[in-house]
Chains A and B, each alone.
Chain A
Amino acid sequence: MAKTLTQEFTKGLWEEIAPFRLVLGLCPVLGVTTTMENGIGMGLATTFVLVCSNILVASLRNIIPAKVRIACFIIIIATFVVVVELLMQAFTYPLFLKLGVFIPLIVVNCIVLGRAEAYASKNSIVFSIADGLGIGIGFTLSLAALGAIREILGTGKFFGTAVFGPSFEPFTFMVQAPGAFVCLGLMLCLMNLVGSK
């Protein structure tokens, strides 16, 4: 193996950070990042599914027939998504209410299926865990950053406490859908500026 474990892990944090470098998985990125808390919750749920499905896909990679591999991956991913959904309902119900339909939508998140197909089905279990963790944490950080910017500008609050004085007029545009696109575009631009140097 050319790359080390650490490289596999850290590539997900910057080099191949999913929403910004690969521009993948944009549905939750745009949909749930109205607050930082939602972003982190969504990111962690996705990370859990990503790591678990990577482990299972990697350990079954010699058994799964090539012709039906996508179907098998989807079964594995969907199973873990329902696990997350049930656990969230049982333990963090208010967060589940806020994320709503986006939790079941992790099944069709192309990052998860993409990692299963492009990485876990060709690599060993340990490396797949490192890959899943790296990509997942990178995804969580992206969502948290976007959520933080939108929450602070859009509502003038951070984790529910006001950060500006009473004279601050909330920039409501930022918590609406167009604000998500503008914010994501600006962040992409910044990442490219920094990366190109």
Chain B
Amino acid sequence: MVVVLTVLSTISGGLLSGLKNATAARIEVQQLKFVKGPAIKTILEGVTNDPIADRFAIKDGKMERKFFVGKFGDKADTVVLESFGKGYGGDVGLMVAVNVKDDTILGVGVTTHSETPGLGARAKDDPGFVSQFKGMPIKETFKVTNDGGKVNAMSGATITSRAVCSAASDAGMIYQKLKPQLDEKLKEFNK
């Protein structure tokens, strides 16, 4: 009895981890195309290059972080990075576009999430909430007004609003930590 269950679970686990590895690259491409791509295009309105194609990665400790480059005119002065915050139904992914010249947020957009439809999911569907971040300095720690911050939470979705704020703050920390490397990399795109 125990043996059969153990063997069955082991085979199942092995098979699934193998398949997950095999499909990981393709799933990432699909997410870029259908979720992250459109989110990036919305926050970088009027961009003159293809931010999905112009991307690079920087090592941050053990993690590898991906950045997307936005060009306006012929100057590559905007980077987009993704960060995550704990939402009501799991991680909420947030794309944050930062202008590297004055360190302000150009725009943010929610990508992958499992929030409640009609409540937390509005963070993705309703541009009103995320547009509050536009023009804010990235150095700030973002909080909703209830927690003493400046961001108005979506009614009925405080936890999701907090998740977006913490993701934006995280993005700010990553950005400041990697700023020297970022500037180096961006020079290549300005040649």
A binds B: yes
Are A75 and B12 CB-contacts (below 8 A) given A68-B1, A90-B30? yes
Q: How many residues of A contact B (CB 8 A)?
A: 22
> Would A72 and B20 count as touching, CB distance under 8 A?
no
Task: Give chain A interface residues in 76-99, CB to chain B under 8 Å.
Answer: 76, 78-79, 82-83, 86-87, 89-91, 93-94, 97
B23 at the A/B interface (Cβ < 8 Å)? yes
B93 to chain A, nearest CB (A): 14
Q: In whole Å, how far is A66's beta carbon from the nearest beta carbon of chain B?
A: 9
Considering the chains assembled together, what is the distance between the CA atoms of A146 and B34 in angstroms? 28
Q: Is A63 an interface residue (CB 8 A)?
A: yes
Pairwise interchain contact A75-B9, C-beta atoms closer than 8 A: yes
Q: Is the interface of B mostly helix, strand, loop or mixed?
A: helix
Give every chain A residue within 8 A of B4 (Cβ-Cβ). Answer: 63-65, 68, 72
**In the assembled complex, which residues on chain B have CB atoms less than 8 Å from the CB atom of A67?**
1
Which residues from chain A contact B53 at a C-beta distance below 8 Å?
Answer: none
Closest-CB distance, A75 to chain B (whole angstroms): 5
Q: Does B31 contact A (CB under 8 A)?
A: yes
Residues of A within 8 A of B114 (CB): 101
Within 8 A of B (CB), among A49-77: 63-65, 67-68, 71-72, 75-76
B27 touches A (CB below 8 Å): yes
Q: Mark B69-87, 1 if CB is under 8 A from A, else 0.
A: 0000000000000000000
Minimum CB distance partner of B26 in chain A: A90
A97 contacts B34, C-beta separation under 8 Å: yes
CB distance from B120 to the nearest CB of A (A): 14
- A3 CB, nearest partner CB in chain B, Å: 30
| Residues of chain B lying within 8 A (CB to CB) of residue A89 | 23, 27, 30
Q: Is B185 an interface residue (CB 8 A)?
A: no
Q: Are A91 and B26 neighbours in the complex by a CB distance under 8 Å?
A: yes
B8 interface residue (CB < 8 Å to A): yes
Q: Is B19 in contact with chain A by the CB < 8 A criterion?
A: yes
Q: A75-B8, A75-B9 are in contact. Are A86 and B27 (CB under 8 A)?
A: yes
Measured CB to CB, the closest approach of chain B to A172, in angstroms, equals 16
Q: How far is the CB of A23 from chain B (nearest CB, A)?
A: 27
Report Cα–Cα, A87/B23, bound state, in Å: 7
Complex interface residues of chain B between 11 and 34 (CB less than 8 A to chain A): 12, 15-16, 19-20, 23, 26-27, 30-31, 33-34
Q: Give 15 A-B contacts (CB < 8 Å), ordered by A residue.
A: A65-B4, A68-B5, A79-B15, A79-B16, A82-B19, A83-B15, A86-B16, A86-B19, A86-B23, A90-B23, A90-B26, A90-B27, A93-B31, A93-B34, A94-B34
Contacts from A to B (Cβ < 8 Å): 63-65, 67-68, 71-72, 75-76, 78-79, 82-83, 86-87, 89-91, 93-94, 97, 101
6 more A-B residue pairs beyond the given contacts A72-B8, A86-B23, with a C-beta to C-beta distance below 8 A: A64-B4, A79-B12, A83-B19, A89-B23, A91-B26, A93-B31
